[in-house]
Amino acid sequence: MTSEKFPKLINRFLNYVAVDTQSDEQAKTIPSSPKEVAFLADLSAELQAIGLQHVRTMADGYVFAELPSNININNDKVPTIGFIAHVDTADFNGKNVKPQIIENYDGFSTIKLGHSGYELSPSAFPNLKKYTGHTLITTDGTTLLGADDKAGVAEIITAAEYLVAHPEIKHGNLRFAFGPDEEIGIGADHFDTEAFGADFAYTIDGGPVGELEWETFSAAGATVTIQGRNVHPGTAKDTMVNAIQVAFDFHAQLPEKERPEHTSGREGFWHVMSITGNPETAELRYIVRDHNRAKFEERKQRMLHIAENLNKVFGTERVTVSLNDQYYNMGEILKDDMQSVNLAERAMQALNIEPIIEPVRGGTDGSKITFLGLPTPNLFAGGENMHGRFEFISTTVMTQATETILKIIDMAQDTTRVD
């Protein structure tokens, strides 16, 4: 199975997803997993083999590579563009990924996911209806697929390889980066924008065809720790403080309608990720999200205020809230510098791809990289239903993503560099 123009694209992707690269949120190392380190080392060798230059591994685990300009005149006027993807996968089983190939999908049939008992059906997943006539790559129902973001990795490398093999195609200076730990929110914390050397960049880490995202959530993680007082339940009256019950009480004071399952668009939320404990101690872990910075700060303050009020009732500090900002809405920066967004929009339109420009209800490495000084909107890579067993991707869309990268590079020659 190949793409006519990019014969290595699909097999490259299938080879990548066969490797387990799940990041480890509990680790203290950078990158968080030796699996990522090994995969990035293999990518480094591949980048050198296809003819990219100045391939090197940075202190934070990122692999950087370059393709020098082949434009003979006015090269200083053409922007240097970067393309970025992450290699780690999310916290769902990523071991022994065994993709299924569904050729010429009819748009209405149910797809059985191996012998797992799970299936993809248009009734449960209406997005399948968009893919009539496409070849789909699915899971076997026991793992995720890993299109987030190995599709982006495969598309960037395939585009770079195509340019090396076709030197008659003119382009400016290009930069490529592949990094770890995006899924645990720390991958781009120390991204070296100066060493990368681009004027602007794109993460190829979005979903369906046409996605062009330059606004994201602002995001924080919150850990609520509760210290109870456990005694025998038979003599508990006016003495016991059940930490689990206090956890329930804390959560009940957050607005019920401001959970992920009740929100959309620019609406923010509190999302409880886990609850652990016993009557003596308990812990709640949340993610906090909002596109509006002021509302984002209000959400964090509300959690602190709930804890403060509970502690007043107890007369001692039994509830503590630890907050950790993860990333901010890159739209706060990009709204004042839309060169990269406008170029991508024109490139898609030139390929008869309708740009889908919506605030993303999540974040990408581009969120952090933008705040580090490198404008970095996010482009589609093609994955659907990401982070779980129902993930799939269209080979047609992967080809379109690769074409979009090349079209951006081509059209950049008509873009004046901003110094």
Catalytic residues: 88, 182
Distance between CA atoms of residues 194 and 199, nearest Å: 10
Neighbours of 310 (CB within 10 A): 17
Distance between CA atoms of residues 219 and 216, nearest Å: 9
Residue with structure tokens 């591994």? 57
3-state secondary structure of 176: strand
- Quick check: 282 and 244 in contact, CB under 8 A? yes
Residue with structure tokens 């970095």? 376
Distance between CA atoms of residues 91 and 66, nearest Å: 31
Distance between CA atoms of residues 260 and 270, nearest Å: 7
Neighbours of 77 (CB within 10 A): 14
DSSP letter (8 states) at residue 203: E
Q: How many residues does this entry show for the chain?
A: 419
Distance between CA atoms of residues 248 and 187, nearest Å: 33
Going by C-alpha positions, the residue among 176, 200, 177, 199 that lies closest to residue 190 is: 177
Which bin fits 96, alpha (ψ -120 to 50), beta or left (φ > 0)? Answer: left
Distance between CA atoms of residues 110 and 364, nearest Å: 32
Task: Answer whether the bond into residue 375 is a cis peptide, omega within 30°.
Answer: no
